[in-house]
Structure 1
Amino acid sequence: MNSLDYFNARLEATISPMDFLKSNQMDPEKYFLIDVRNGPAHVRSLTIKDANVIPEQELQNRLSEIPKDKEIIVYCWDVWCNTAAKVAKVLLERDYKVRELTGGIAAWQEMDFPVSETAQETIGSDQCGC
């Protein structure tokens, strides 16, 4: 793979927080945003506003909640976390259209974009799985 192919693939597989925010404001029905972070609930108390909370550990049991007619945007903690990439792979293998939000929730918060307190309790373990 040459450099041009790499960057084209990277842009196809990811979306920046700014690009997602703008695009979602223009067409809010286009996307289904998923917070796939694992770990204890107290460290996941904030999520991106309007995100669906489906931890990676629960994904197999909750696939029916994810629409096939929308572009799926997944995110996890930060650039060092690969949980979103693991989830993206699983969804792509099932014919979903998926992109990863670059920088995860850390980049989102750094840009002071809207977050909300999570109201959903999940079963997941206390292990991150990154």
Structure 2
Amino acid sequence: MNQIEFFKNRIESTFSPMDYMQASKQNPDEYVLLDVRNGPPHLKKEKINGAVEIPQVELENHLSEIPKEKIIVLYCWDVWCNTAAKAALILLENGYKVKELSGGIAAWKTMNFPTTLLTSPNLPTEQCEC
């Protein structure tokens, strides 16, 4: 694969937070935003508004809950996490259309896009399970 093909594939396979916001506003019924972060609940203090939560380690048990006719947009913790990529492979191998949200929830929050609080912010913190 040459560099042009690499970057074309990258663009086709990912959404930046801004691109996803624009696309989902234009065609809200075309996408399902899926939070595939693994880890205990006290680490997941918030999620992106409207996201469905299915941890990557449980994904294969929940395939019937995910619509095949929509584009599934996956996110995990941040640019260092490959959990969304692992989830993408599972979904692609099962016939789904998939994109990854670049930078995960960390990039989303950097853009000050809306999130939903999931747990008390006073709970102890630990490293994520990427």
CA contact (8 A) 1:40 1:127 kept: no
* Normalised TM-score (structure 2): 0.91
Q: CA deviation at 1:127?
A: 8.5
Q: What are structure 1's unaligned runs of at least 5 residues?
A: 120-125
* Normalised TM-score (structure 1): 0.91
AA aligned to 1:36 is: V
Provide the identity percentage: 55
Q: CA deviation at 1:117?
A: 2.1
Count of residues in correspondence between the two structures: 124
AA aligned to 1:39 is: G
Q: What are structure 2's unaligned runs of at least 5 residues?
A: 120-125
What is the alpha-carbon root mean square deviation over aligned residues? Answer: 1.5
Q: Which residue of 2 aligns with 1:98?
A: 98
Q: Which residue of 1 aligns with 2:34?
A: 34
SS of equivalent residue, structure 1 residue 29: helix
Hey, what's the Cα distance between the residues in 2 that align with 1:83 and 1:110?
20
Q: Which residue of 2 aligns with 1:10?
A: 10
Q: CA deviation at 1:27?
A: 1.1
AA aligned to 2:31 is: Y
Hey, what's the Cα distance between the residues in 1 that align with 2:118 and 2:35?
10
